[in-house]
Amino acid sequence: MRFNVVLLTALLMAGSAGAALPATSDLPSLAPMLEQITPSVVNIATYTTVQVRNPLMDDPFFRRFFNVPEQQQRYRRTKAAGSGVIVDARQGYIVTNNHVVDRADEITVTLSDGRALPAKLVGTDAQVDLAVLKVDSRKLAQITFADSSRLRVGDYVVAIGNPFGLDQTVTSGIVSALGRSGLGIEGYEDFIQTDASINPGNSGGALVNLRGELIGINTAILAPAGGNVGIGFAIPSNMVSAIMAQLIKHGEVQRGRLGVRVQALNPELAQAFNVNVAEGVVVVEVDKESACAKAGIAPGDVIVRVNDRDIKRIVDFHSQSALLMVGDNVNMAVLRDGKQRRVNFDLVAESLEQIAGERIDPRLTGVALQNFRSENDPTTGAGVLVTDIGPDSSALERGLRPGDIIVALNRKAVRSIAEMSDQQPSPNGQMLLRVYRAGEFGYIVLP
């Protein structure tokens, strides 16, 4: 579908001249496209049970002084709302943001025709902020995926969702930028930026092109004053499709680990490593026994291509890494000593249920880590358990203790060792751990 620019210009000129428009004129409109796709965008309501805590009641001296009896734990029920997109009408699969359904006890999906359906959580990926739900119903409408790699800055886009509880709200704009990263929103960031109005409640909704094809899942806004300022972000449809397939197949994302740390190539590094390119990433460190180590990748190599994606910036490398799953074949173009070489290898599953902390970061030397999952604890749910710490560990001096459950690294939620290992370093170089200990959360900084 395209805007008829000539017709639109003629209409505007006629209107400005005070002339009446012909009753038979077909005005440019998005309505036909929207009538086809809005039934695929749904409202999501979540209900969560949270513990009500009074810090004073946790103090035994306070209770004894005021003769307050021991109290049982109290909980209250909260409600939140967001949006979702039906991606498989036959199976009833719906894609939304992870933060829309995070820690929800009950999820209800309301369709455009008013039907309210209970939804089951199929799987989530906090690193990309995506989740897949499933409903049992007939007569669902699904959306068609577009190839987000073909997007250009300036393309017209339309955002559909339920901001502030206003069902089936449509806003329009353009693609303002591509490949946005470094925003501190998710672990893997490769956002489409748009000026189409996105507000609270739009999260998980659809960003579509003028053909009504899904090009992204709306996920965040930049709102320094607390309201919409025309800077919204969406997860590209190609990434959504890859993560969705993993969640449906496995219930989780079995992301393969390349096992390398990189930094951006600059003119000085290009000269030092004798390469004649201006863009790429330089391998700084290679984990022992990792896929890249076994393939012969070494520090100082310049990676310029991974599979079908050119690697010009660090965001390109991290975004492509987010799409590499266990079992995938990786074809990598690497520059070494001025010559390009091709490296081909398969990503195999690594046992990351229990590892030594130094495999993640040298600052965790002496720390033994293990995946932690609890279906009965609504507070933690999942994280990384510290099973042991050596007496000479610097992490011990900084306050980390056996039994601590690490639930976030550098302000990004982590639910497993794999997610913790995949986290990008903090801009200030510190390692900020959020831990759960004895019923309370706290922070530990490892410089």
Q: Which residues contact 353 (CB under 8 A, 6 or more apart)?
A: 370, 371, 417
Our measurement of the distance from residue 225's CA atom to the centroid of its chain's CA atoms, rounded to an integer in Å, reads 24
Residue 361 is a catalytic residue: no
State the CB neighbour count (10 A cutoff) for residue 44: 27
User: Which candidate in 40, 99, 318, 416 is catalytic?
Assistant: 99
Residue 394 is a catalytic residue: no
Q: Which of 46, 37, 45, 71 lies closest to 57 in space, CA to CA?
A: 71
User: Which candidate in 40, 83, 125, 129 is catalytic?
Assistant: 129
Residue 203 is a catalytic residue: yes
Our measurement of the distance from residue 189's CA atom to the centroid of its chain's CA atoms, rounded to an integer in Å, reads 7
Question: Tokens 């995506």 belong to which residue?
Answer: 130
CA distance 112 to 314: 41
Q: Tell me the backbone φ, ψ of residue 281, rounded to 5 degrees.
A: -130, 145
Q: Tell me the backbone φ, ψ of residue 233, rounded to 5 degrees.
A: -135, 145
User: Which candidate in 40, 148, 181, 203 is catalytic?
Assistant: 203
Question: Tokens 């000129």 belong to which residue?
Answer: 13
CA distance 235 to 295: 31
Residues noted as catalytic:
99, 129, 203
